[in-house]
Structure 1
Amino acid sequence: MADVKLLGLWYSFFSHRVEWALKIKRVKYELIEEDLQNKSPLLLQSNPIHKKIPVLIHNGKSICESMIILEYIDETFEGPSILPKDPYDRALARFWAKFLDDKVGAVVSTFIHKGEEQEKGKEEACEMLKVLDNELKEKKFFVGDKFGFADIAANLVGYWLGIFQEASGVELVTSEKYPNFCAWRDEYINCSQVKEYLPPRNDELLAFFQGCARAHAAASASTKK
């Protein structure tokens, strides 16, 4: 049996992308929770360049970066395909996954920073939402009629964005501004393939991100003194 370990965090959407793929493939794995304030020797050894989670360790070999790990899992383990089989659809899935991944910084900045940095992030995030609102009109999945690679990459906007918004009190998404995106998001959250693999939106998850928002606000205020 393959020895599979995942260095990650319970609240990380990057980690949950990888867990999602492993569960779809029905791969047994060990989740090793990391402390980013005190990174383990295993993490530093497994990802010496970026020193970040997630890291998949398969039979002693390390693979880094969530979307690269997803492709590795899809190619390595038996089970339902995550990337489409058709070359064109596969290219589309990779395009949308990269588009979403490139906007992570903007989304995070909108909710954890203040002032100019927040406004810059918000502007970029709103541009992303306009694109998605146009792309997702009357669509359930990003590519074709099957849940897959790009939809897993979309967990930030489909699930965590709502948590960030509630935790920070910053209103970014409304059905008036982005009706198609909101319709897709509601469908996404209630999709059985999503509900089965994402963590429950409970008090613990919300409280964690509320704490993050307060900590960043306090840090920002202290630097202005």
Structure 2
Amino acid sequence: MKKLGKILLVTPLAFSLVLPTTGVFATESNDVHVKVAEVEAPKLELTQEKKEDLYNKYVKIVADVAAQYPDSGIFIEPLDTFKDEYFMSPEDYRAFAVNLATSSIVVAPETPSDVITPLATGIKTKYANITFGGSSRSIAVTGTFTIDHFLGRMGFTGVKSLTSKAADSRGTWRQSGYNEKIYDAGETMNVSVGGTYTENGVSKPDNFDLNFYCSGTGEIS
């Protein structure tokens, strides 16, 4: 069985995250096209009135994107949770919302050195890399497992706890729950993790399956 580890959240290249030096133009079909500007875009002056005006526009933008991509489940957070750095032009906000709505989770192979010393209770952390264009954010997924000797080898017997959180400050991941299943006579622990990723006030619920492996000597990878 091929062992899987790191998780990548990938967005289509057609919807790259718009930098401050870019402008975005939407057609009637809501397709997003990016054009690089020759000068840096001016910073927004954030009075409370300006924040409320932008937020009202963001609400309509996210509702429009959610209708365009109904399976994404994206939604906007309350205004009082918005930090100043969340505010951007409505065009850039639409581009970001489309990036998040069209993202997907892909599991990548793990490096062979990513193992721990065998214990009766083993702890293992794996990372999910969320990619928007050329930028990435990390989510740490930590499992605490019980292992025991049976059928001539060490293997998983259960999950004591499984937590996940954002590993950097640019976004947040709120775990909503998880389910676990043991396969291959205790060699494989499959966990299905659910949660919501939030950045710039836009949230997307998602879930993914992740496999942990226990070697015959009790190493977890």
The reply to whether TM is greater than 0.5 is no
- Tell me the TM-score normalised to structure 2 length: 0.24
Structure with greater proportional helix content: 1
TM-score by length of 1: 0.24
Structure with max Cα Rg: 2
Q: Give the structure with the larger strand fraction.
A: 2
Where relative contact order (Cα < 8 A, 6+ residues apart) is larger, the structure is 2
